[in-house]
Amino acid sequence: MENLVAVALEEVSKHYGGGSEPVAVLREVSLRVSAGDFVAILGPSGSGKSTLLNLVAGLDSPSAGRVLVGGRDLAYLGDNARSDLRLREIGFVFQSFNLFPTFTAEENVAWPLELLGVPWREARRRAEEALAQVALPPAAARRRPAELSGGEQQRVAIARALVTEPRLLLADEPTGNLDSQTGQTILDLLRRLNEERHLTVVLVTHNALAASHAQRTIELRDGRIVREARGTITIMFSDIVGFSAMTERLGDERVQEILHTHCAIVREQISVHGGFEVKTQGDGFMLAFPSARRALRCAVAIQRATAAYDEHAEAPVRLRIGLHTGEATKEGYDFFGRSVIVAARIGAAARSGEILVSSLVRELTGGAEEFAFDGGRELELKGLSGLQRVFGVEWQGSDPARAWARGNGAAPTPAVDAVRSSVTVLRRPAGRPVPPCAHAGGRTSSRRAGDGTRAAADGASPPRTAIFRRPRLVRIRVPIACSGAASAV
Q: Please tell me the predicted confidence (pLDDT) of residue 81.
A: 92
Specify whether 343 is located in the same domain as 432: yes
Average pLDDT for 348-370:
86
Q: Please tell me the predicted confidence (pLDDT) of residue 439.
A: 36
| Domain count for the chain | 2
Q: Which of 176, 199, 230 is the last residue of a domain?
A: 230
Query: Taking a C-beta distance cutoff of 8 angstroms, is the pair 320, 354 a contact?
Result: yes
Q: pLDDT, tens digit, for every residue of 32-73?
A: 998 888 999 988 888 999 899 999 999 999 999 999 998 899
482 pLDDT higher than 80: no
DSSP designation for 475: E
Specify whether 111 is located in the same domain as 208: yes
- pLDDT bin (cut points 50, 70, 90) of residue 314 is low
CA atoms of 415 and 64, how far apart (whole Å) = 53
CA atoms of 140 and 136, how far apart (whole Å) = 7
Specify whether 286 is located in the same domain as 148: no
Q: Please tell me the predicted confidence (pLDDT) of residue 397.
A: 65
Which CATH number goes with the domain that contains 394? 3.30.70.1230
Specify whether 181 is located in the same domain as 264: no
Which CATH number goes with the domain that contains 193? 3.40.50.300
Among candidates 7, 4, 116, 165, which has minimal Cα distance to 72? 7
More confident residue, 8 or 21: 8
Which of 96-110, 190-204, 308-322, 392-406 is predicted with the least confidence, judged by mean pLDDT?
Answer: 392-406
4 pLDDT higher than 50: yes
- DSSP assignment of 410-451: -PPPPPPPPEEEEEEEEE--TT---PPP--TTSPPP-S-S-T
Q: Quick check: is 487 in a domain?
A: no
Specify whether 420 is located in the same domain as 295: yes
Q: Please tell me the predicted confidence (pLDDT) of residue 348.
A: 92
pTM: 0.53
Which of 115-119, 201-205, 338-342, 415-419 is predicted with the least confidence, judged by mean pLDDT?
Answer: 415-419
- DSSP assignment of 42-95: E--TTSSHHHHHHHHHTSS--SEEEEEETTEEGGG--HHHHHHHHHHHEEEEET
Q: pLDDT, tens digit, for every residue of 260-300?
A: 888 999 999 988 887 888 888 888 999 988 778 889 999 99
- CB-based contacts of 135, cutoff 8 Å, min separation 6: 155, 189, 489
Specify whether 306 is located in the same domain as 270: yes
Lateral strand order in the sheet of 216-221: 90-94, 168-172, 200-205, 38-42, 216-221, 224-230
Q: Quick check: is 370 in a domain?
A: yes
CA atoms of 230 and 314, how far apart (whole Å) = 47
Q: Please tell me the predicted confidence (pLDDT) of residue 349.
A: 92
Q: Which of 230, 248, 268 is the last residue of a domain?
A: 230
Percent of the chain at pLDDT exceeding 90: 37
- DSSP assignment of 199-248: -EEEEEES-HHHHTTSSEEEEEETTEEEEEEE-EEEEEEEEETTHHHHHH
Specify whether 436 is located in the same domain as 364: yes
The DSSP H or E segment spanning 282 is: none
| Pairing relationship of beta strands 216-221 and 38-42 according to DSSP bridges | parallel
Specify whether 395 is located in the same domain as 451: yes
Q: Which of 172, 203, 230 is the last residue of a domain?
A: 230
431 pLDDT higher than 80: no
Q: pLDDT, tens digit, for every residue of 134-181?
A: 889 989 999 999 999 988 999 999 999 989 999 899 999 888 878 877
Specify whether 186 is located in the same domain as 251: no
CA atoms of 345 and 336, how far apart (whole Å) = 14
Q: Quick check: is 30 in a domain?
A: yes
Q: Please tell me the predicted confidence (pLDDT) of residue 177.
A: 78
Q: Please tell me the predicted confidence (pLDDT) of residue 368.
A: 61
Over the chain, what is the mean pLDDT? 78
**Which structural domain range is residue 178 located in?**
5-230
Specify whether 177 is located in the same domain as 190: yes
Q: Please tell me the predicted confidence (pLDDT) of residue 62.
A: 93
Q: Quick check: is 489 in a domain?
A: no
The DSSP H or E segment spanning 335 is: strand 334-336
CA atoms of 87 and 163, how far apart (whole Å) = 11
More confident residue, 416 or 50: 50
The size of the chain, in residues, is 489
- pLDDT bin (cut points 50, 70, 90) of residue 19 is low
Q: Quick check: is 303 in a domain?
A: yes
Specify whether 40 is located in the same domain as 165: yes
- DSSP assignment of 124-168: HHHHHHHHHHTT--GGGGGS-GGGS-HHHHHHHHHHHHHTT--SE
Highest mean pLDDT among 106-110, 256-260, 292-296 belongs to 106-110
Angle between helices 120-133 and 150-162 (to 10 degrees): 120
Q: Quick check: is 488 in a domain?
A: no
Q: Quick check: is 69 in a domain?
A: yes
Specify whether 138 is located in the same domain as 42: yes
418 pLDDT higher than 80: no
Q: Quick check: is 273 in a domain?
A: yes
